[in-house]
């Protein structure tokens, strides 16, 4: 059983479209995250949710809207996609504040053309 699963794995779309990425974890963790990894492998946190409550929103454009229907799911919706949104998006989960480490999903490679 996959611990943190993201779908889709690849997403190619045109500028201006709206798309969603889904994430689910079966570890019983209470905190979930979205990270963006750019082409140079740099990882930057976008959002973190604890028990479905938004805790961190790191200067991400309003076009990005996370939704956590329950503790096991954290989805990311992106409106009006831009070329600069092309990246790999990772979902992760942890227990509590993350001081014992994260479990990552395998990533969603988003390409905006």
Q: Would you tell me which residues interact with another protein (CB under 8 A)? A: 4, 31, 33, 40-43, 45, 48, 50, 55-56, 90, 92, 97-107
The full 3-state SS of 7-36, as one line of letters, equals: ECCEEEECCCCCEEEEEEECCCCCEEEEEE
Closer to another protein at the Cβ: 15 or 56?
Answer: 56
Which residue, 80 or 106, has its beta carbon nearer to another protein? 106
Say if CB 76 and CB 105 are below 8 A apart: no
For residue 16, the minimal CB distance to another protein (Å) is 28
CA–CA gap between residue 108 and residue 88 (Å, rounded): 5
Of the pair 64, 104, the CB lying nearest another protein is at: 104
């Amino acid at each position: 059983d996959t611990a943190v699963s993201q779908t889709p794995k690849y997403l190619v779309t045109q500028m201006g479209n709206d798309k969603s990425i889904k994430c689910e974890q079966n570890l019983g963790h209470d905190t979930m995250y979205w990270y963006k990894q750019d082409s140079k492998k740099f990882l930057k946190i976008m959002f973190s949710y604890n028990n479905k409550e938004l805790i961190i929103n790191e200067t991400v454009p309003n076009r990005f809207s996370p939704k956590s229907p329950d503790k096991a799911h954290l989805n990311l919706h992106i409106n009006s996609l831009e070329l600069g949104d092309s990246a790999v998006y990772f979902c992760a989960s942890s227990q509590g504040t993350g001081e014992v480490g994260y479990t990552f999903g395998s990533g969603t490679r988003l390409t905006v053309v």
